[in-house]
DNA sequence: ATAGGGTTAG
């Protein structure tokens, strides 16, 4: 990736991202147009609905009705569309009623709009009843219904309906008269989207074949959907290939590619495409782009870039959008700045359950259970109903801080008061909370009570807790479950081996070592990230690839000497047994977080806070090392590991050594 | 003057 200064990348293009301020058409109308003219009202309603101001469109429709003007066949589709956009089922039903009264409910335009409205509002059955009542549905009717199934998580049914459509089409005999339906590019887009959501191998390839056969492969929306479909199947490389092949890329193409990278954790690639998009003179980025970029920043801990995006959101006057606002909260939390997140949260005019949840989750990952719970209670007092994910965040907060009683109370309240059925994530939080606090049998009993089959996360939490509390018996039970569930994961064998070692059972240690060796299992390599001047640097365990690695090791050595002066003893490994032992040889494989921290010390001003992201959990030795470093170099060091944040300051860590 | 599709958050 090019070494771009994100703020300068923006400076050039700010001007072209002006969002047209919504002129208040109703005011304009009140002044200049003839209120008794239905056509004038129709234009107004259509213009507002198309411009995305559905509230105003609906208001205009109601004003028109108050004047006792008769709406016609052009009025209803727009009014219904506005209800659909607002997910306003109540107004939708009322408008449907009016359409019935005026005899327009069988109109193809009106019925398509109604099918769309009912399915967007989650009333798929009503949508289907309407569809079945249409004597001769056209391609728009079919597509509305197919899309309804896709958007209500029933892609299988969508594909079945598409098959019916194809049969219908094949009976046309090539006669292109009005009564005949032909699959068009809009229908194809909907069907590709269905294919990408259905768990059938080769579904996307199948539809891609049809796209080419029917000649839709030059349509940019079709291409964009295929790009997304391949990414959903997990083939990001193919997705990129599709992207590169689009000649007439539009903003959605760019947004899709950025989103694909962001959602697959490829943050640098996401930013690279974004900067390229910024430089492209034919497209402009929008709120969707910025949301995806913020996600990439959150993922890689790119705080400086994230702040630039936040500035950009403000400049573009988009900070009142609830989605981008939630992205900003999440970005600050995941970049270690939970206070900034709180500030952004407080400024939000519109908050929804996901905004609240983002903040709760943020406090939780920083080990601040008290604040997480306070926000949770405040949310309930505000009448916002917590959902499945909210409770995952609340329970995770409790587990990170070891807050057993409140955690248990919330778990109970979730089931009994809020009627949220506990899922795998909730159980893994509870097992972790109870297990680490020493209530191993309670944790085990909870697992046995589960209605869903416990997964590797749950058994893994129990196994880790068993190590902490030296319970070999329960450790063996958990480990053997894990070997069944995920037999190639080296970590479980290492953990069990360490538990045996703690108990002095050396024969068992040797047995585990042999299993690892015989199966050729390897640990997933650790890596850490540090952002410097808008660029994210990656460090691998024992890194010799980074251009500055020699300087970094030299500086690390100097720091080690200083630390040894205050009593630090570098450990070869923090565990009694480590698979790396055999490959250790002459040089120690330095963990990536040490390299990242040293690199950051070398390249930032004295006193500046250091942020590091690590893909695995931080080990005991690195924890001690960074703790002491924070005192010696007088720096605040923030480390996000795979589980949570550690804020090191003046020789102590926010986790209280409980992690 | 009217209907259906592709990209965004916890």
pLDDT, tens digit, 9 for 90 and up, residues A231-260: 999 999 999 999 999 989 999 999 999 999
Q: How confident is the model at residue A404 (pLDDT cuts 50, 70, 90)?
A: very high
Ranges assigned E (strand) in A124-243: none
If we measure between CA atoms, which residue out of A558, A543, A652 comes closest to residue A601? A558
Question: Whole-number Å distance, CA A351 to C1' B5?
Answer: 29
User: Which nucleotide is nearest, taking the CA of residue A393 and each C1'?
Assistant: B10
Q: How confident is the model at residue A582 (pLDDT cuts 50, 70, 90)?
A: very low
CB neighbourhood size of A387 (10 A): 13
Chain B: nucleotides below 7 Å from protein CB are: 1-10
User: What are the distances in angstroms from CA A575 to CA A436, A525, A580?
Assistant: 18, 16, 11
**C-alpha dihedral (A649, A654, A656, A658), degrees to nearest 10:** -130
Instruction: List the structure tokens of A170.
Output: 């094949």
Answer yes or no: are the C-beta atoms of A436 and A396 closer than 8 Å.
no
Answer yes or no: are the C-beta atoms of A254 and A273 closer than 8 Å.
yes
Residue whose CA lies closest to nucleotide B8 C1':
A288
Average the pLDDT over A624-646 and give the result.
94
Question: Whole-number Å distance, CA A119 to C1' B1?
Answer: 26
If we measure between CA atoms, which residue out of A80, A145, A87 comes closest to residue A114? A80
Question: Whole-number Å distance, CA A133 to C1' B1?
Answer: 27
pLDDT at position A248, please? 92
pLDDT at A577 over 60: no
pLDDT at position A86, please? 94
User: Which nucleotide is nearest, taking the CA of residue A188 and each C1'?
Assistant: B5
pLDDT at A581 over 80: no
Average the pLDDT over A312-335 and give the result.
96
User: Which nucleotide is nearest, taking the CA of residue A323 and each C1'?
Assistant: B9
User: Which nucleotide is nearest, taking the CA of residue A41 and each C1'?
Assistant: B1
Residue whose CA lies closest to nucleotide B1 C1':
A43
Q: What is the distance between the alpha carbons of residues A293 and A582, in angstroms, rounded to a whole number? A: 42
Average the pLDDT over A378-385 and give the result.
96
A336: left (phi over 0), alpha (psi -120 to 50) or beta: left
User: Which nucleotide is nearest, taking the CA of residue A291 and each C1'?
Assistant: B8
pLDDT at position A168, please? 92
Question: Whole-number Å distance, CA A293 to C1' B8?
Answer: 10
User: Which nucleotide is nearest, taking the CA of residue A260 and each C1'?
Assistant: B7
Average the pLDDT over A271-284 and give the result.
94
| Block residue for tokens 């330095």 | A590
Residue whose CA lies closest to nucleotide B2 C1':
A74
Buried/exposed A466-476: b ≥16 CB within 10 Å, e otherwise: bbeeebbebbb
Average pLDDT, chain A: 90
User: CA torsion sign, A60 to A62 to A67 to A69?
Assistant: positive
Q: What is the distance between the alpha carbons of residues A500 and A510, in angstroms, rounded to a whole number? A: 10
Question: Whole-number Å distance, CA A130 to C1' B10?
Answer: 35
Residues 6+ apart with CB under 8 A from A414: A386, A391, A420, A422, A426
Question: Whole-number Å distance, CA A213 to C1' B6?
Answer: 20
Average the pLDDT over A617-643 and give the result.
93
Give A537's strand partners: A530
Answer yes or no: are the C-beta atoms of A301 and A613 closer than 8 Å.
yes
Residues 6+ apart with CB under 8 A from A477: A444
Q: What is the distance between the alpha carbons of residues A183 and A88, in angstroms, rounded to a whole number? A: 30
Is A501 exposed, middle or buried (CB count within 10 Å of its CB: 0-12, 13-18, 19+)? middle
Is A417 exposed, middle or buried (CB count within 10 Å of its CB: 0-12, 13-18, 19+)? exposed
pLDDT at position A12, please? 35
Question: Whole-number Å distance, CA A39 to C1' B8?
Answer: 36
pLDDT at A659 over 90: no
If we measure between CA atoms, which residue out of A334, A331, A373, A328 comes closest to residue A346? A328
Residue whose CA lies closest to nucleotide B5 C1':
A186
Answer yes or no: are the C-beta atoms of A122 and A152 closer than 8 Å.
yes
pTM: 0.90
Question: Whole-number Å distance, CA A298 to C1' B6?
Answer: 25
pLDDT at position A175, please? 65
pLDDT at A3 over 60: no
How do A637-640 and A610-614 pair as beta strands? parallel
User: What are the distances in angstroms from CA A463 to CA A450, A491, A498, A656?
Assistant: 17, 11, 11, 22
Q: How confident is the model at residue A611 (pLDDT cuts 50, 70, 90)?
A: very high
Instruction: List the structure tokens of A389.
Output: 């994910």
| Block residue for tokens 């509230």 | A55
Give me the phi and psi of A209, to 5 degrees please: -60, -45
A289 vs A34, residue with greater confidence: A289
Question: Whole-number Å distance, CA A198 to C1' B7?
Answer: 20
CA A453 to chain centre: 25
User: Which nucleotide is nearest, taking the CA of residue A193 and each C1'?
Assistant: B6
Question: Whole-number Å distance, CA A542 to C1' B3?
Answer: 61
User: Which nucleotide is nearest, taking the CA of residue A389 and each C1'?
Assistant: B10
pLDDT at position A36, please? 79
A291 vs A282, residue with greater confidence: A291
Spatial strand order in the sheet of A610-614: A535-540, A527-532, A610-614, A637-640, A645-649, A652-653
User: Which nucleotide is nearest, taking the CA of residue A298 and each C1'?
Assistant: B9
Q: What is the distance between the alpha carbons of residues A183 and A226, in angstroms, rounded to a whole number? A: 17
Question: Whole-number Å distance, CA A568 to C1' B7?
Answer: 51
Instruction: List the structure tokens of A306.
Output: 């994230």
How do A527-532 and A645-649 pair as beta strands? unpaired
User: Which nucleotide is nearest, taking the CA of residue A73 and each C1'?
Assistant: B2
Residues 6+ apart with CB under 8 A from A651: A627, A628, A630, A631
Average the pLDDT over A41-66 and give the result.
89
pLDDT at position A110, please? 97
Q: Quick check: helix, strand or coil at residue A591?
A: coil
Helices (H) and strands (E) counted in chain A, each on its own, are: 34, 6
pLDDT at position A535, please? 86
User: Which nucleotide is nearest, taking the CA of residue A231 and each C1'?
Assistant: B7
CA A130 to chain centre: 35
Question: Whole-number Å distance, CA A289 to C1' B7?
Answer: 8
Question: Whole-number Å distance, CA A329 to C1' B9?
Answer: 9
User: Which nucleotide is nearest, taking the CA of residue A225 and each C1'?
Assistant: B6
User: Which nucleotide is nearest, taking the CA of residue A110 and each C1'?
Assistant: B3
Question: Whole-number Å distance, CA A1 to C1' B9?
Answer: 26
Question: Whole-number Å distance, CA A456 to C1' B9?
Answer: 27
Residues 6+ apart with CB under 8 A from A312: A10, A14, A290
Q: What is the distance between the alpha carbons of residues A633 and A626, in angstroms, rounded to a whole number? A: 10
Question: Whole-number Å distance, CA A126 to C1' B9?
Answer: 30
pLDDT tens digits along A128-184: 999 999 999 999 999 999 999 999 999 999 999 999 999 999 887 666 666 789 999
The DSSP 8-state label assigned to residue A431 in this structure reads H
């Amino acid at each position: 990736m090019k070494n771009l200064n994100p703020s300068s990348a923006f400076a050039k293009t700010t001007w072209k991202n002006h969002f047209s301020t919504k002129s208040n058409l109703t005011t304009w109308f009140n002044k200049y147009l003839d209120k008794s003219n239905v056509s004038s009202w129709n234009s107004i309603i259509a213009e507002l609905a198309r411009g995305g101001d559905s509230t105003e469109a609906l208001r205009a429709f109601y004003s028109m009705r108050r004047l006792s003007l008769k709406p016609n066949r052009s009025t209803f589709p727009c009014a219904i569309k506005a209800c659909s956009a607002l997910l306003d089922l109540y107004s939708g039903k009322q408008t449907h009623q009016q359409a019935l009264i005026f005899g327009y409910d069988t109109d193809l335009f009106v019925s398509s709009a109604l099918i769309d409205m009912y399915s967007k509002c989650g009333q798929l059955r009503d949508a289907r009843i309407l569809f079945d009542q249409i004597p001769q549905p056209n391609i728009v009717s079919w597509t509305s219904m197919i899309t309804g199934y896709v958007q209500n998580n029933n892609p299988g049914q969508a594909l079945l309906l598409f098959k019916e459509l194809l049969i219908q089409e094949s009976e046309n005999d090539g006669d292109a008269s009005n009564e005949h339906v032909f699959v068009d590019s809009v229908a194809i887009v909907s069907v590709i989207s269905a294919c990408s959501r259905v768990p059938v191998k080769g579904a996307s390839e199948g539809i891609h074949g049809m796209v080419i056969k029917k000649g839709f492969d030059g349509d940019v929306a079709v291409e964009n959907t295929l790009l997304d479909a391949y990414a959903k199947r997990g083939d990001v490389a193919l997705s990129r290939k599709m992207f590169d092949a689009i000649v007439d890329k539009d903003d959605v193409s760019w947004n899709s590619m950025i989103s694909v990278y962001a959602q697959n954790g490829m943050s640098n690639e996401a930013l690279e495409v974004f900067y390229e998009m910024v430089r492209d003179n034919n497209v402009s980025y929008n709120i969707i782009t910025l949301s995806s970029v913020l996600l990439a920043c959150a993922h890689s801990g790119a705080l400086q870039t994230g702040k630039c995006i936040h500035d950009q959101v403000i400049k573009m006057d988009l900070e009142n959008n609830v989605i981008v606002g939630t992205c900003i909260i999440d970005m600050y939390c995941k970049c270690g700045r939970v206070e900034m997140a709180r500030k952004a949260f407080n400024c939000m005019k519109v908050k929804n359950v996901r905004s609240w949840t983002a903040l709760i989750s943020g406090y939780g990952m920083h080990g601040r259970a008290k604040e997480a719970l306070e926000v949770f209670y405040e949310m309930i007092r505000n009448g916002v109903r917590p959902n499945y994910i909210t409770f995952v965040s609340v329970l995770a907060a409790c587990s990170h801080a070891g807050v057993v009683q409140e955690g248990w109370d919330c778990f109970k309240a979730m089931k009994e008061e809020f009627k949220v059925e506990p899922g795998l994530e909730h159980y893994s939080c509870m097992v972790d909370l109870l297990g680490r606090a020493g209530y191993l049998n309670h944790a085990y009993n909870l697992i046995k009570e589960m209605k869903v089959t416990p997964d590797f996360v749950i058994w893994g939490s129990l196994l880790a807790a068993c190590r902490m509390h030296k319970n070999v018996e329960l450790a063996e039970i958990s480990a053997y479950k894990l070997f069944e569930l995920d037999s190639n994961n080296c970590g479980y064998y290492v953990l069990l081996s360490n538990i045996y070692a703690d108990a002095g059972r050396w024969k068992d240690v040797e047995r585990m070592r042999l299993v690892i060796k015989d199966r050729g299992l390897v640990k997933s390599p650790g890596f850490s990230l540090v952002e410097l001047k808008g660029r994210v640097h990656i460090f691998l365990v024992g890194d010799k690839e980074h251009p500055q690695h020699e300087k970094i090791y030299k500086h690390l050595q100097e720091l080690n000497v200083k630390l040894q002066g205050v009593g630090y003893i570098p450990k070869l490994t923090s565990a009694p047994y480590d698979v790396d032992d055999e490959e250790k040889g002459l040089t120690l494989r330095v963990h990536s977080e040490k390299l990242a921290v040293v690199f950051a010390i070398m390249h930032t001003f004295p006193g500046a806070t250091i942020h590091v992201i690590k893909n695995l959990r931080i080990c005991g030795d690195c924890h001690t090392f960074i703790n002491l470093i924070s005192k010696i170099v007088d720096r605040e060091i923030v480390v996000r590991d795979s589980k949570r944040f550690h804020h090191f300051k003046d020789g102590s860590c926010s986790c209280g050594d409980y992690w």
